[in-house]
Amino acid sequence: MYLLLIVPGVIVVIFLLYRLMIFISETMIRLLVDRKHQDAEAIMYSGYAPPEWAKKGFARLGIDRLSKVIALRKLTKVIKHIQNSPVVENEEGRTIAVDKLRAVRKKWKSMPWREISSNR
């Protein structure tokens, strides 16, 4: 008798947990994609690292060499994301964005971290 009440309840709980996991996954992915596009825009228009990059990890500790290496890696990931992103409006826009980001990356290679992160 009790089994007839418990089994549907367990199924409902499992289904709700499944839906919650899907919702959390979609939200996290959306936030990550938005963050990469915001970083790309900030870099293209300012030529400097986004302020969030200077507030995390080695940059916060003042280790300039590692901060620069990490920033260049992040910029490479942003470039790859823009190259493969279906969100970019058209191929011309994608090409312009990637070219601008590559030019910034080339410039950053010859700059010290303090200059890369000094956008304010």
For residue 47, the SS3 value is: coil
Domain range summary for the chain, segments of one domain joined by +: 35-116
Instruction: Bin 62: left if φ > 0, else alpha if -120 < ψ < 50, else beta.
Output: left
pLDDT above 80 for 88: no
Q: Specify the DSSP element, H or E, that contains 111.
A: none
Q: What is the DSSP letter of 26?
A: H
Whether residue 74 contacts residue 53, with contact meaning beta carbons closer than 8 Å, is answered with: yes
- Which residue, among 82, 109, 42, has the nearest Cα to 54 in the 3D structure? 42
| Least confident segment among 9-18, 28-37, 62-71, 77-86 | 62-71
Residues counted in the chain: 120
**pLDDT at position 59:** 61
Terminal C-alpha separation, the chain: 69
How far from 38 is each of 5, 45, 117, CA to CA, in Å? Answer: 50, 11, 16
Question: Mean pLDDT across the stretch 68-94?
Answer: 88
pLDDT above 90 for 103: yes
pLDDT above 60 for 13: yes
Q: Is the pTM of this model over 0.75?
A: no
Average pLDDT of the chain is 86
d(CA 92, CA 104): 18
Q: Which amino acid is at 16?
A: L
**pLDDT at position 60:** 63
pLDDT above 80 for 58: no
**pLDDT at position 62:** 66
